[in-house]
């Protein structure tokens, strides 16, 4: 190591012992650009020192300064370079003014050096070293100012960090994207400790083997901090930046992305390499050997938990950790008829990539084709480079270049063991142009290469599907934190404490009378009903009673002004018995003729969703007023099995059949007064129904006889941490936008779940606990026969141990029922207090599609139901 340059040492507390550990704090450009952020830096540095650690602060240049320096280094005109230097000086002087710092000699020396260097005339051979020296000044200036502000010892990073010699790299790469030597100098820690207890130095810069200045590439300050951390065998390296940590996807594209609280080095490396920008991909390697943990934290909100990266993974079931994306990917597809088993074909092909200096990332191969990807961040790709490569490759095979593409990568340890959870995601990708799929041999990632234009939208969709399928186990709080939206967006409206908390004692008492048991809280249903009735755009509401047909629930909703939407004669009979005056809508699917006849007799408005009834039962429909349910071509919702539109779904008349349907209806004199569509369930996007409304309204003129448009139900409720409740005001406003354009039609909606889900809980008792392999099972007396949703469509129901409501949730359980089916799992990876036989488990949001779907499978009997007024 070279001789460290020392400026000043100030220590306020009693001296630290020689054994005191180091903490390295790194602050990026935005974190050093304002006085407020510097106040945070001071609090953090002095706070760590007060905890008994030596502190090394590593800083980037003020934001924007490196760009200015780069511009100066590329400017031929000396006058223009000086103007840029003045701009840079002004930025620093302004910040110093805000910090009330006098200009120190240290800072002045660097500023003068910059002025001097930009005025130099440079011989072409010296251009690259000169440019590097110019660009190094951003960090020299910010660190000098920081030394004054923090009363810290100033350290020239170049005296410690040395780039390794890379004879195969171009001079430009060696100078601007240098790789640091990884052999730590054992004397370094002792020598740096001799400088003081709080030190400040520069990120991004180092020296080469000849002592000249080199740069570490964009984001290189992270790498500097990591190397210092490794060198000093630091207790940890803290990267302070403008976001709380690594997220499960780019939060700017996917606001529901979850904070990743804990990662091991390999997973974090994979996420950084495959697209996450928050951490420089090179900065983990140096820390892995000496096992120095790395934290990522938000400078503006230091109180937020960040990401901790370390050696040991948390004990948890396998989960996808992140979905990362790289754009600017070029695929080169090489086709050769005679390739199969032809010795040396791959060697010939790859030799061309080497000759052109292009590094290959992903590889897919088949009998007659090899396709590889080139990553624009690793390759200097332009159309000329590709054309010459393609020309050379054409000598050995047929070449096709596919670009621009995006690589979307699922990252998680043990990827192959999670494939069964990716059904829904793979189904989604089945409808996309996927050019290449590649699974890494380290079993950490699975990558899909698609068209770049589709990638942004696809990323959010894929993330949703990973959350919904439980492949990304956001409910495991030891790994995943809140969503970006929950951390940074306007705070969520307080939905208050769930009703059952106040009823805990009576629920426990009720459970003593027998479990499993559904309990419904009517006041909650009333609240939901009145919230919906408050939406002025909707003219008529129907309750989809398939969600919960308990007579007390039906009575309550009929009283609140809801019509009843039924799908079977049984439901129609229940509706007639409970609320004979209430309007009824009958929207069955593949029902027999007699069902339709019964519905007409019962006075319901009958909805038809195929040509068949018109063609075959013309006598039944002749002269009637009917509704028509159409398929708008797509389905929506939280799971494939709740999507009721699109080519894979059995519901609705395909639009291609609309002319035939209209002609058939005219022929028999059936009047279509209602046009209906219901695309799926569990929708949280307030814009969805206005989209359906517009499509129905634009079809309405073809129909001619319509009175009303029914945009279905499907209003969702947040099921997982970080999901956002449906914004009813936004939904109402969006509906009004359409209604103003089509005032001639009434607007109808027919929710089920939204009205009743939260009002119901399922109470069950713990039967047995068992540890098996890595899993801890909590057995309860409710199973898939009592609540089918988890087994049927992977539904997530929050659950709590009502008997131990305040105990620490320190066990990770698979919550299972007593049914002889492997699918009899009500919840996976639930953090709960350790349970004991007889404990009462409460399962939330069980008021919809709970008891109505229960069966007596295994002859276990139906669950009881109870009403709370
Ligand atoms: N309307 C129709 C035609 C349905 O099929 C359903 C549910 O299956 C609903 C309304 C109610 O859906 P949700 O309970 O999700 O609001």
How remote is the CA of residue 547 from the centroid of ligand 1, in Å? Answer: 8
Give the per-residue pLDDT at 11. Answer: 45
Ligand 1 contact via 835 beta carbon (within 6 Å): no
Nearest CA to ligand 1 atom 5: 678
Winning range, highest mean pLDDT, from 361-370, 747-756, 788-797? 747-756
Pocket test for ligand 1, best of 538, 681, 852 (most atoms within 8 A of CB): 681
CA nearest to 154, candidates 106, 110, 116, 100: 106
pLDDT > 70: percent of the chain:
94
Ligand 1 contact via 143 beta carbon (within 6 Å): no
Q: Does residue 689 surpass a pLDDT of 80?
A: yes
Whole-angstrom Cα distance, residue 824 to residue 816? 6
Nearest CA to ligand 1 atom 9: 713
Whole-angstrom Cα distance, residue 454 to residue 433? 9
Q: Does residue 734 surpass a pLDDT of 90?
A: yes
Question: ∠ at Cα 285 (279, 287), nearest 5°?
Answer: 90
Ligand 1 contact via 712 beta carbon (within 6 Å): yes
Per-chain mean pLDDT for the chain: 90
Q: Does residue 750 surpass a pLDDT of 50?
A: yes
Whole-angstrom Cα distance, residue 554 to residue 530? 15
Ligand 1 contact via 236 beta carbon (within 6 Å): no
Residue 578 neighbours by CB under 8 Å, 6+ apart? 551, 554, 555, 558
How remote is the CA of residue 864 from the centroid of ligand 1, in Å? Answer: 24
Nearest CA to ligand 1 atom 10: 713
Residue 387 neighbours by CB under 8 Å, 6+ apart? none
Q: Does residue 201 surpass a pLDDT of 70?
A: yes
pLDDT > 90: percent of the chain:
64
Ligand 1 contact via 587 beta carbon (within 6 Å): yes
Q: Closest ligand 1 atom to the C-alpha of 716?
A: 15
How remote is the CA of residue 539 from the centroid of ligand 1, in Å? Answer: 18
Classify strands 760-772 and 517-521 as parallel, antiparallel or unpaired: antiparallel
Instruction: Work out the pLDDT band at 2, boundaries 50, 70, 90.
Output: very low
Please indicate whether residue 820 is annotated as part of the active site. Answer: yes
Alpha-carbon distances of 135 from 58, 91, 128, 140, 141, rounded to whole Å = 17, 16, 11, 10, 11
Give the per-residue pLDDT at 356. Answer: 82
Pocket test for ligand 1, best of 632, 684, 712, 852 (most atoms within 8 A of CB): 712
Whole-angstrom Cα distance, residue 541 to residue 19? 72
CA atoms in the 13 A half-sphere facing the CB of 794: 21
Q: Does residue 491 surpass a pLDDT of 70?
A: no
Give the per-residue pLDDT at 380. Answer: 55
How remote is the CA of residue 607 from the centroid of ligand 1, in Å? Answer: 14
End-to-end CA distance of the chain: 77
In the numeric block, which tokens belong to residue 562? Answer: 């809801």
pLDDT in tens, 119-172: 998 888 889 999 999 999 999 999 999 999 999 999 999 999 999 887 777 788
Residue 280 neighbours by CB under 8 Å, 6+ apart? 217, 219, 220, 221, 222, 223, 272
Q: Does residue 806 surpass a pLDDT of 50?
A: yes
Tokens 């903490």 correspond to 23
Ligand 1 contact via 630 beta carbon (within 6 Å): no
pLDDT in tens, 509-544: 999 999 999 999 999 999 999 999 999 999 999 999
Q: Closest ligand 1 atom to the C-alpha of 752?
A: 14
Whole-angstrom Cα distance, residue 367 to residue 363? 14
Ligand 1 contact via 713 beta carbon (within 6 Å): yes
Candidate list 98, 405, 607, 820, residue with the active-site label: 820
Q: What is the mean pLDDT of residues 207-220?
A: 90
Ligand 1 contact via 544 beta carbon (within 6 Å): yes
Q: Closest ligand 1 atom to the C-alpha of 848?
A: 14
Tokens 């000699």 correspond to 105
Pocket test for ligand 1, best of 525, 543, 545, 547 (most atoms within 8 A of CB): 547
How remote is the CA of residue 280 from the centroid of ligand 1, in Å? Answer: 47
Give the per-residue pLDDT at 315. Answer: 60
How remote is the CA of residue 536 from the centroid of ligand 1, in Å? Answer: 21
Instruction: Work out the pLDDT band at 236, boundaries 50, 70, 90.
Output: very high
- Contact (Cβ atoms closer than 8 angstroms) between residue 446 and residue 415: yes
In the numeric block, which tokens belong to residue 212? Answer: 């000249």
pLDDT in tens, 628-645: 999 987 777 666 677 777
Ligand 1 contact via 202 beta carbon (within 6 Å): no
Give the per-residue pLDDT at 492. Answer: 41
Q: What is the mean pLDDT of residues 755-774?
A: 94
How remote is the CA of residue 678 from the centroid of ligand 1, in Å? Answer: 7
Q: Closest ligand 1 atom to the C-alpha of 715?
A: 16
Pocket test for ligand 1, best of 544, 590, 640, 641 (most atoms within 8 A of CB): 544
How remote is the CA of residue 712 from the centroid of ligand 1, in Å? Answer: 7
pLDDT in tens, 546-568: 999 999 999 999 999 999 999 99
Higher-confidence residue: 18 or 599?
A: 599
How remote is the CA of residue 483 from the centroid of ligand 1, in Å? Answer: 28
Give the per-residue pLDDT at 9. Answer: 37
Q: 295 - beta bridge partners?
A: 238, 308
Give the per-residue pLDDT at 378. Answer: 59
Ligand 1 contact via 714 beta carbon (within 6 Å): yes
In the numeric block, which tokens belong to residue 552? Answer: 């007390």
Pocket test for ligand 1, best of 750, 755, 756, 760 (most atoms within 8 A of CB): 750
Pocket test for ligand 1, best of 540, 542, 546 (most atoms within 8 A of CB): 546
Give the per-residue pLDDT at 407. Answer: 93
Ligand 1 contact via 547 beta carbon (within 6 Å): yes
Neighbours of 678 (CB within 10 A): 28
Alpha-carbon distances of 338 from 342, 344, 347, 462, rounded to whole Å = 7, 12, 15, 38
Q: Closest ligand 1 atom to the C-alpha of 642?
A: 8
Give the per-residue pLDDT at 381. Answer: 57
Instruction: Work out the pLDDT band at 571, boundaries 50, 70, 90.
Output: very high
How remote is the CA of residue 10 from the centroid of ligand 1, in Å? Answer: 69
Winning range, highest mean pLDDT, from 133-147, 295-309, 482-496, 766-780? 133-147
Give the per-residue pLDDT at 4. Answer: 36
Q: Closest ligand 1 atom to the C-alpha of 680?
A: 15
Ligand 1 contact via 753 beta carbon (within 6 Å): yes
Ligand 1 contact via 541 beta carbon (within 6 Å): no
How remote is the CA of residue 542 from the centroid of ligand 1, in Å? Answer: 10
In 111-183, beta strands by DSSP E: 153-154
Whole-angstrom Cα distance, residue 29 to residue 63? 4
Q: Does residue 334 surpass a pLDDT of 70?
A: yes
Ligand 1 contact via 751 beta carbon (within 6 Å): yes
Q: Closest ligand 1 atom to the C-alpha of 637?
A: 15
Name the percent of the chain in helix, strand, coil, to the closest 5.
35, 25, 40
Classify strands 625-631 and 671-676 as parallel, antiparallel or unpaired: parallel
Least confident of 191-200, 287-296, 417-426: 417-426
Nearest CA to ligand 1 atom 15: 714
Give the per-residue pLDDT at 633. Answer: 79
Q: What is the mean pLDDT of residues 38-43?
A: 94
pLDDT in tens, 641-680: 777 777 778 999 999 999 999 999 999 999 999 999 999 8
How remote is the CA of residue 842 from the centroid of ligand 1, in Å? Answer: 25
DSSP designation for 44: H
Ligand 1 contact via 680 beta carbon (within 6 Å): no
């Amino acid at each position: 190591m070279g001789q460290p340059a020392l400026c000043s040492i100030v220590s306020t507390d009693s001296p630290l012992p020689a054994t005191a550990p180091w903490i390295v704090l790194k602050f990026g450009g935005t974190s050093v650009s304002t006085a407020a952020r510097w106040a945070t830096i001071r609090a953090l540095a002095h706070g760590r020192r007060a905890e008994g650690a030596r502190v090394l602060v590593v800083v980037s240049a003020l934001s924007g300064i490196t760009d200015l320096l780069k511009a100066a280094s590329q400017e031929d005109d000396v006058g223009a370079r000086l103007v840029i230097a003045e701009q840079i000086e002004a930025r620093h002087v302004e910040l110093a003014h805000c910090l009330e710092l006098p200009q120190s000699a240290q800072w002045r020396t660097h500023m003068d050096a910059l002025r001097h260097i930009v005025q130099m005339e440079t011989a072409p051979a010296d251009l690259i070293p000169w440019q590097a020296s110019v660009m190094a000044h951003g960090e020299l200036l910010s660190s000098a100012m920081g030394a004054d502000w923090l009363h810290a010892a100033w350290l020239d990073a170049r005296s410690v960090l040395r780039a390794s010699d890379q004879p195969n790299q171009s001079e430009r790469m060696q100078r601007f994207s240098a790789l640091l030597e990884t052999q730590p100098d054992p004397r370094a820690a002792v020598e740096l400790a001799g400088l003081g207890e709080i030190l400040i130095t520069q990120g991004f810069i180092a020296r080469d083997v000849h002592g000249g200045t080199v740069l570490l590439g964009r984001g290189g300050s992270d790498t500097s901090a990591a190397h210092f951390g490794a060198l000093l065998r630091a207790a940890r390296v803290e990267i302070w930046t403008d976001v709380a940590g690594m997220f499960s996807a780019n939060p700017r594209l996917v606001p529901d992305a979850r904070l990743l609280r804990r990662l091991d080095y390999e997973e974090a490396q994979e996420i950084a390499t495959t697209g996450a920008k928050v951490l420089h991909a090179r900065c983990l390697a140096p820390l892995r050997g000496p096992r120095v943990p790395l934290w990522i934290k938000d400078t503006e909100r230091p109180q937020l938990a960040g990401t901790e990266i370390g050696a040991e993974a948390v004990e948890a079931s396998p989960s996808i950790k992140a979905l990362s994306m790289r754009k600017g990917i070029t695929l080169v597809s090489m086709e050769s008829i005679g390739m199969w088993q032809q010795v040396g074909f791959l060697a010939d092909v790859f030799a061309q990539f080497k000759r052109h200096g292009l590094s290959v990332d992903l590889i897919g191969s088949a009998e007659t084709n090899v396709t590889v990807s080139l990553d624009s961040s690793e390759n200097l790709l332009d159309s000329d480079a590709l054309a010459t490569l393609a020309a050379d490759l054409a000598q050995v095979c047929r070449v096709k270049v596919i670009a621009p593409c995006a690589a979307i990568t699922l990252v998680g340890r043990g990827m192959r063991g999670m494939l069964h959870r990716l059904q829904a995601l793979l189904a989604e990708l089945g409808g996309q142009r996927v050019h290449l799929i590649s699974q890494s041999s380290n079993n950490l990632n699975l990558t899909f290469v698609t068209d770049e234009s589709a990638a942004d939208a696809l990323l959010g969709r894929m993330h949703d599907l990973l959350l919904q399928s439980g492949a990304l186990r956001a409910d495991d709080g030891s790994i995943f934190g809140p969503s970006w939206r929950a951390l940074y967006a306007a705070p969520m409206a307080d939905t208050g404490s769930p009703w059952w908390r106040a009823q805990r004692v009576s629920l426990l008492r009720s459970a003593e009378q027998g479990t499993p048991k559904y309990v419904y809280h009517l006041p909650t249903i009333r609240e939901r009903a009145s919230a919906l009735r408050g939406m002025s755009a909707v003219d008529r509401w129907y309750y989809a009673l398939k969600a919960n047909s308990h007579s007390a629930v039906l009575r309550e909703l009929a009283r609140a002004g809801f019509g009843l939407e039924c799908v079977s004669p049984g439901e129609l009979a229940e509706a007639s018995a409970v609320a004979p005056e209430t309007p009824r809508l009958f929207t069955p699917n593949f029902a027999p003729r007699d069902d339709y006849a019964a519905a007409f007799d019962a006075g319901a408005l009958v909805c038809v969703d195929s040509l068949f009834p018109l063609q075959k039962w013309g006598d039944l429909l002749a002269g009637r007023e009917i509704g028509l349910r159409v398929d708008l071509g797509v389905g929506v919702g939280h799971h494939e099995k709740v999507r009721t539109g699109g080519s894979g779904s059995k519901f609705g008349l395909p639009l291609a059949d609309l002319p035939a349907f209209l002609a058939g209806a005219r022929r028999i004199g059936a009047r279509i007064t209602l046009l209906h569509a219901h695309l799926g369930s569990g929708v949280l996007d307030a814009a969805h129904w206005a989209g359906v409304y517009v499509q129905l309204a634009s079809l309405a003129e073809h129909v001619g006889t319509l009175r009303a448009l029914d945009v279905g139900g499907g209003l969702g409720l947040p099921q997982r941490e970080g999901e956002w409740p449906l914004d009813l005001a936004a939904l109402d406003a969006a509906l009004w936008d359409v209604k103003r354009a089509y005032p001639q039609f009434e607007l109808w909606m027919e929710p089920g779940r939204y009205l009743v889900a939260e009002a119901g809980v399922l109470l069950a008792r713990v039967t047995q606990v068992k540890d098996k392999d890595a899993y801890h099972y909590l057995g309860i007396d409710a199973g898939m026969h009592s609540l089918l949703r988890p087994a049927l469509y992977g539904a997530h129901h929050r659950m709590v141990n009502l008997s131990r409501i305040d105990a620490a949730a320190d066990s990770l359980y698979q919550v299972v029922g007593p049914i002889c089916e492997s699918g009899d799992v009500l919840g996976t990876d639930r953090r709960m207090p350790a349970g004991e036989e007889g404990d009462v488990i409460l399962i939330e949001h069980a008021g919809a599609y709970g008891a109505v779907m229960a069966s007596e499978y295994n002859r276990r009997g139906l669950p009881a139901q109870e009403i709370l007024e």
